[in-house]
């Protein structure tokens, strides 16, 4: 059985980053979170948990992990948020009310290729965002 620790270490090594304590800490904090998290929010949370970490360290770590593609970046209310997505190509379905992100895995990018071909367009990012309202928010809006 692999522990969460081994997993984050392997993820970091695969991305060409040395598995430092603070990088593992940040990855573990973001693990299995459906909503992207902002640097300040994460900093407050880690501090409340008793983890001694500086705001600039949190910010730099998130930026470094995102630059290597380990985290996906979302801009919400003008602020950068970070999400640890599953591996593999996927699209993001983003709820504009609660910020929920649902991954839609599409390894061969079927519809993106089709749209691009029809439009005679070269599409380059697999990190497409589709904005809308998630089921629970939609139901809350109706009631
Ligand atoms: Zn993603
Ligand atoms: Zn929602």
Query: Do 108 and 128 fall into the same domain?
Result: yes
Instruction: Please give the Cα distance from 85 to 36 (Å, whole number).
Output: 10
Query: Do 27 and 44 fall into the same domain?
Result: yes
103: exposed, middle or buried (Cβ count in 10 Å: 0-12, 13-18, 19+): middle
Among 40, 59, 83, the domain boundary falls at 83
Range of the domain at 106: 90-142
CATH number at residue 118: 3.30.1490.190
**d(CA 134, ligand 2 centre) in Å:** 4
pLDDT digits (tens, 9 = 90+) for 84-117: 998 778 889 999 999 999 998 877 778 888 889 9
Helices (H) and strands (E) in the chain, counts: 6, 6
CATH number at residue 14: 1.10.10.10
Query: Do 77 and 94 fall into the same domain?
Result: no
The pLDDT value given to residue 88: 76
The pLDDT value given to residue 2: 58
List CB-based neighbours of ion ligand 1 within 5 Å.
72, 85
pLDDT digits (tens, 9 = 90+) for 61-90: 999 999 998 999 999 889 999 999 987 788
Query: Do 94 and 37 fall into the same domain?
Result: no
Query: Do 75 and 26 fall into the same domain?
Result: yes
Nearest ligand atom owner, CA of 137: 2
Asked if 130 and 103 count as a contact pair (C-beta separation under 8 A), the reply is no
Query: Do 72 and 121 fall into the same domain?
Result: no
Query: Do 41 and 99 fall into the same domain?
Result: no
Query: Do 9 and 38 fall into the same domain?
Result: yes
Query: Do 78 and 98 fall into the same domain?
Result: no
The token pair at 61 is 């770590």
pLDDT digits (tens, 9 = 90+) for 16-66: 999 999 999 999 999 989 999 999 999 999 999 998 899 999 999 999 999
**d(CA 129, ligand 1 centre) in Å:** 9
| Cut 0.75: pTM above it | yes
Pairing of strands 90-95, 129-132: parallel
Q: How many domains does the chain have?
A: 2
**d(CA 66, ligand 1 centre) in Å:** 11
């Amino acid at each position: 059985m692999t522990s969460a620790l081994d997993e984050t270490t392997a993820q970091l090594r695969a991305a060409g980053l040395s598995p430092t304590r603070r990088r593992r800490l940040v990855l573990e904090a973001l693990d299995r979170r459906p909503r992207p998290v902002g640097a300040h929010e994460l900093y407050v949370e880690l501090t409340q948990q008793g983890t001694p970490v500086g705001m600039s360290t949190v910010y730099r770590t998130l930026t470094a992990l995102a630059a290597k593609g380990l985290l996906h970046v979302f801009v919400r209310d003008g602020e950068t948020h970070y999400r640890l997505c599953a591996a593999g190509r996927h699209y993001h379905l983003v709820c504009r009310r609660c910020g929920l992100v649902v991954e839609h895995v599409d390894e061969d990018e079927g519809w993106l290729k089709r749209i691009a071909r029809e439009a005679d367009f070269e599409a380059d990012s697999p990190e497409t965002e589709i904005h809308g309202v998630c089921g629970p928010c939609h139901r809350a809006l109706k009631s």
